[in-house]
Amino acid sequence: MTGELERLARRFQGHEPGLLGASRSYAVLCPLVEGEDGLRLLFEVRSSQVSQGGEVCFPGGRMEPGETPQDCALRETEEELSIPREAVTLLGTPDFICSQRGFLLRPVLGLVSQAGLQSLRPFPAEVAEAFTVPLAFFRETPPDLRRYELVPQVPEDFPYGPVGIPRDYPWSHGWVEIPIWRYQGRAIWGMTARLVREIIR
């Protein structure tokens, strides 16, 4: 084997595939809790002191180098809600979201024990409040579905000639579907709602 082949083999043997060109990855915990009316999902509302303040989301954040989605989701949940990682039983990993902004969102499904729920204390700098919603609500209530188009903005100086394509080349467009649920005055939408839809499927 030549030196170049050896370098390629070292680079890709055992490589865990990710999103090509992704600059960052995030992980969230989709926390289930057991209530008298069955399973519920635990959500948090972002503090006004952070980006997208006031929006509903799952606990989570940016993955650190060498961190697994599970480790990140548990760490962020402990930091944001004071729920210790030993109070969460991991159940699996639903499908991830590839954002058009160039990052991966990796969900982790977990069951929070009653002791974990009792230890819940939102960190006020990041979380305004936490609340739960019955899974049955999402199953029984169709979301309000909206879509927006992803339109390519090709620069005027794109080298059509050297690339070998005409100026009226049919660049691919895309669509993003946004489910929206409204529950007791709160809107659960966007990527969070897409993860909810994946869970209830």
pLDDT per position as a tens digit, 132-184: 999 999 999 999 999 999 999 999 999 999 999 999 999 998 899 999 999 99
Instruction: Indicate whether 6 belongs to any domain.
Output: no
Domain of residue 88, CATH code: 3.90.79.10
Instruction: Indicate whether 5 belongs to any domain.
Output: no
Report how many domains make up the chain: 1
Give phi and psi for 68, each to the nearest 5. Answer: -85, 160
In one-letter notation, the amino acid at residue 9 is: A
- Kindly report, residue by residue over 33-81, the tens digit of the pLDDT: 999 899 999 999 999 877 777 899 999 999 998 899 999 999 999 999 9
In angstroms, the CA 156 to CA 173 distance is 18
Instruction: Indicate whether 136 belongs to any domain.
Output: yes
Instruction: Indicate whether 53 belongs to any domain.
Output: yes
Whether 104 contacts 19, CB under 8 Å: yes
Domain limits at 40?
21-200
Nearest to 106 by CA among 17, 25, 201: 25
In angstroms, the CA 43 to CA 23 distance is 27
Instruction: Indicate whether 37 belongs to any domain.
Output: yes
In angstroms, the CA 61 to CA 51 distance is 12
The DSSP bridge partners found for residue 181 are 188
Residue 1 has pLDDT above 70, yes or no: no
* pLDDT score, position 68: 93
